Each structure stands twice: as structure tokens, then as C-alpha cells.
Amino acid sequence: MSETEPRAAAPTGTRPSVIQLVFREKGALYAAYIPLFSEGGLFVPSTREYQLGDDIYLLLSLPGDPQRYPVAGKVGWITPANTPGGRTQGVGVRFPSDEKTRLLKLKIEELLGTSISSSKPTQTI
């Protein structure tokens, strides 16, 4: 998984971050997917400071799919630095409730198949 942030860091609450997430394998997608958000969502590793509700624009690439999916999400939870249990610092990005993103959520869940209900640990809640 890789992340790129804007060259000039915009102050929180102004322009949304643009983050490119590339998932080359299902295991990484499984570890980042957040089924607890009703619209779906993804964990994004980041050392940048975010507030709940901040806008984040994702450019998402899924395993085996050449298409990039734009998602205008919002920060739904924050994992701060030095969290007990060795969790990766970052944010949970909640997908918007629109038709295009609903179809993307279905595509992700189809890719993950039965592993979505696995008890294997993830980077999420």
C-alpha cells in the first residue's frame, strides 16, 4: 500500500487531502477494509494530523483491476501515534452514501469474498 499527500501541506479544515491507495493483493485490502461503517470505508496509514469529519479524497486501486476509483470520504476515526498494541497510525475514511461508492463497496466485498467475515486481525476496529 502506498500513500502520497499534497506537496504543500494544507492546514486542517481547508482543502481535502488527496491520497492514492494501491492494493496489490487481497490480504492488504482485507486488513484495511472497514465493514463496520455502513457505507464502507478504508484504513489509511498516515502521520498527518486529522480531525473527525475532515474530508479526504482517495484514489483507490484494487487488486487485479487497472481502474482507479475516486472516493470523496470523511475521517470516521483516528488511530494516533504510539497506540497500544502496535497499531499503525492513521485514519479510518468513511465512504460517502452515493450510488457510485455503493457499487465500489460491493466490488470490494465481492473481491474479499468469505474472508470478510474472518477473525484474522486487521488494521481496523
The stretch 79-105 carries a mean pLDDT of 91
| Lowest-confidence pick of 3-12, 28-37, 43-52, 102-111 | 3-12
Residue 109 has pLDDT above 60, yes or no: yes
For the chain, the domains span 17-117
CATH class of the 17-117 domain in this structure: mainly beta
How does pLDDT run across 48-82, given as a tens digit for each residue? 999 999 999 999 999 999 999 999 999 999 999 98
pLDDT-derived band at 116 (thresholds 50, 70, 90) equals low
Which helix (H) or strand (E) segment is 20 a member of? strand 17-22
